[in-house]
Amino acid sequence: MNKVLEKELRKIGWLIYPNDEALQIQLSRNHHIFIFKEGEGWIVWTTTYQDSQQPVKEKVRKVTRDIYLAIEDAHSYIEWYRKNVQHKEWKAPQIERLGESINDRARVSTGTC
């Protein structure tokens, strides 16, 4: 992961693990999104906890070789969460700051531009 992307992700609340092995963002006390590096690719994984250290619900959302596509998928989930689940007192991460750079990179990597 390049340093510019890492800096932007940190600004909007992503926790970057050592050696870029994973990224994590907390949506609420019980909801998290992880992006794990696995071999040459990335796995987007959502979890829900209920007062324990073991998740009560887990879902693999996307497996891709492109970090930008993984981030785009995670941010799509954040937007869904913001519209459908979020509690009024909680402010969702401001993903707009990454905006076009993530979307443009995703279009280039999938050949849709």
Helix (H) or strand (E) holding 48: strand 41-49
pLDDT at 30: 84
pLDDT at 73: 94
Residue 69 Cα distances to 9, 12, 43, 86, angstroms: 14, 17, 10, 24
Helix (H) or strand (E) holding 106: helix 99-110
Each of the 113 residues of the chain gets a pLDDT tens digit; together they read: 788 889 989 988 899 999 889 999 988 888 899 999 999 999 999 998 887 777 778 889 899 999 999 999 999 998 888 888 766 545 555 555 555 555 555 444 445 44
Q: For residues 106, 107, 110 and 113, what is the CA-based torsion angle, rounded to 10 degrees?
A: -170
Asked whether 43 and 63 are in contact (CB, 8 A), the reply is: yes
pLDDT at 81: 86
Q: For residues 14, 21, 33 and 4, what is the CA-based torsion angle, rounded to 10 degrees?
A: 30
pLDDT at 54: 73
Taking the model in full, what pTM does it have? 0.73
pLDDT at 86: 66
pLDDT at 58: 81
Cα 97 to Cα 70: distance, rounded to the nearest angstrom: 17
Closest CA to 94 of 81, 106, 79: 79
